[in-house]
């Protein structure tokens, strides 16, 4: 093979191929179809730490006074679902983020026939009149991607908090609660609760399966889920 062919081969392998691969990842990633968030015209309102939702589901969510409402946003997720998020934070004495409630109302757009299915969720939790599919795990914030993958609802939630001056803890307990408001399974309401593990002295890695302190996770998980029920009350509008 002559020198010219070697150069073309090297260019193809080390320049063109990576560019094609990156282009492929971009084009196949649904995140690029997520719209920029809007911060006005939200359907749900918050007054005196009570979030009022008129439908899907119709409910009142009252948070303990140690939590502070920092706002909400809406966007179209992946080009397939309408999303509205609201956020409440609890601070450490030094002002850093201790706990983070992220409430999300989501509904598939009428131009698709997708449905939600959480039948594989390992737990069920009852708060007031509402049932939730539930899962929980210890977590760690990525050193290189602190906000997560761009275009995801998680990325936009973390970015909202970061823009308000709140950085996610390096290690945290995480719980996701999902309520399906009707039998069509095309709408969902999520409550995601994250809490800093620093006061426990344990890391997310140590509490995970196979970690040094994996035997302590059931205790941490139970306390984490119990705090959700203590710090947040759900009821139906009168």
Max intra-chain CA distance, the chain: 83
Give me the domain span that covers residue 27. 1-33
Stretch 58-87: mean pLDDT:
98
Q: Is residue 213 located within the same domain as residue 116?
A: yes
Q: Is residue 145 located within the same domain as residue 225?
A: yes
Q: Is residue 108 located within the same domain as residue 22?
A: no
pLDDT at 130 over 70: yes
- H-helix segments, the chain: 3-11, 17-28, 153-163, 204-207, 217-231
- Per-residue confidence (pLDDT) for residue 221, from 0 to 100: 97
**E-only strand ranges, the chain:** 45-47, 50-53, 59-63, 68-77, 81-91, 97-108, 123-127, 130-140, 171-179, 187-196, 232-235
Q: Is residue 115 located within the same domain as residue 231?
A: yes
Domain count, the chain: 2
Q: Is residue 159 located within the same domain as residue 62?
A: yes
pLDDT at 16 over 60: no
- Per-residue confidence (pLDDT) for residue 210, from 0 to 100: 94
> Cα–Cα distances in Å, from 166 out to 45, 103, 176, 204?
22, 17, 20, 19
Rg of the chain over all Cα atoms, to the nearest angstrom: 21
3-state class (DSSP) for residue 73: strand
Of 88 and 149, the structure prediction assigns the larger pLDDT to 88
Work out the pLDDT band at 173, boundaries 50, 70, 90: very high
pLDDT at 22 over 50: no
- Per-residue confidence (pLDDT) for residue 50, from 0 to 100: 98
pLDDT at 110 over 50: yes
Stretch 102-122: mean pLDDT:
96
**For residue range 135-144, what is the model confidence (pLDDT) as tens digits?**
999 999 987 7
Which residues lie across from 104 on neighbouring strands? 85, 190
- Per-residue confidence (pLDDT) for residue 25, from 0 to 100: 44
Q: Is residue 126 located within the same domain as residue 142?
A: yes
pTM: 0.88
Residue pair 185/117 in contact by the 8 Å Cβ criterion: yes
Tell me, rounded to whole angstroms, the distance of Cα 223 from its chain centroid: 20
Q: Is residue 26 located within the same domain as residue 63?
A: no
Q: Is residue 62 located within the same domain as residue 154?
A: yes
Q: Is residue 87 located within the same domain as residue 23?
A: no
Q: Is residue 9 located within the same domain as residue 76?
A: no
Sheet with 50-53: list strands edge to edge.
45-47, 50-53, 59-63, 232-235
Angle at 197 between CA 193 and CA 199, to 5 degrees: 125
CATH number, position 168: 3.40.1410
Lowest-pLDDT choice from 18-22, 41-45, 54-58 = 18-22
Q: Is residue 14 located within the same domain as residue 88?
A: no
Tell me, rounded to whole angstroms, the distance of Cα 130 from its chain centroid: 20
Q: Rounded to an integer, what distance in angstroms lies between the CA atom of residue 92 and that of residue 199?
A: 10
Q: Is residue 28 located within the same domain as residue 90?
A: no
Residue-averaged pLDDT of the chain: 90
Stretch 177-193: mean pLDDT:
97
- Per-residue confidence (pLDDT) for residue 26, from 0 to 100: 52
Q: Give which of 135, 42, 51, 136 is closest to 88, Cα–Cα.
A: 51
Percentage of residues in the chain having pLDDT higher than 90: 83
pLDDT at 11 over 50: no
């Amino acid at each position: 093979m002559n020198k010219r062919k070697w150069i073309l081969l090297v260019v193809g392998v080390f320049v063109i191929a990576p560019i094609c691969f990156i282009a492929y990842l971009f084009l196949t990633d649904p995140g690029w179809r997520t719209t920029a968030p809007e911060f006005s015209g939200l359907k749900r309102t918050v007054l005196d730490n009570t979030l009022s939702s008129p439908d899907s589901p119709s409910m009142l969510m009252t948070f303990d006074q140690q939590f502070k409402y920092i706002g909400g946003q809406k966007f179209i997720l992946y080009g397939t679902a309408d999303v509205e998020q609201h956020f409440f934070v609890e601070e450490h004495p030094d002002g850093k983020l201790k706990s983070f409630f992220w409430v999300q109302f989501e509904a598939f757009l009428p131009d698709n026939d997708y449905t939600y299915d959480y039948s594989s969720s390992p737990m069920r939790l009852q708060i007031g009149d509402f049932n939730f599919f539930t899962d929980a795990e210890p977590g760690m914030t990525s050193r290189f991607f602190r906000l997560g993958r761009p275009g995801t609802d998680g990325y936009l939630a973390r970015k909202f908090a970061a823009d308000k001056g709140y950085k996610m803890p390096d290690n945290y307990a995480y719980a996701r609660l999902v309520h399906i408001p009707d039998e069509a399974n095309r709408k969902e309401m999520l409550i995601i609760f994250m809490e800093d593990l620093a006061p426990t002295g344990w890391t997310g890695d140590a509490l995970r399966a196979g970690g040094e302190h994996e035997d302590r996770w059931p205790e941490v998980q139970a306390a984490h889920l119990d705090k959700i029920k203590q710090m947040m009350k759900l009821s139906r509008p009168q």
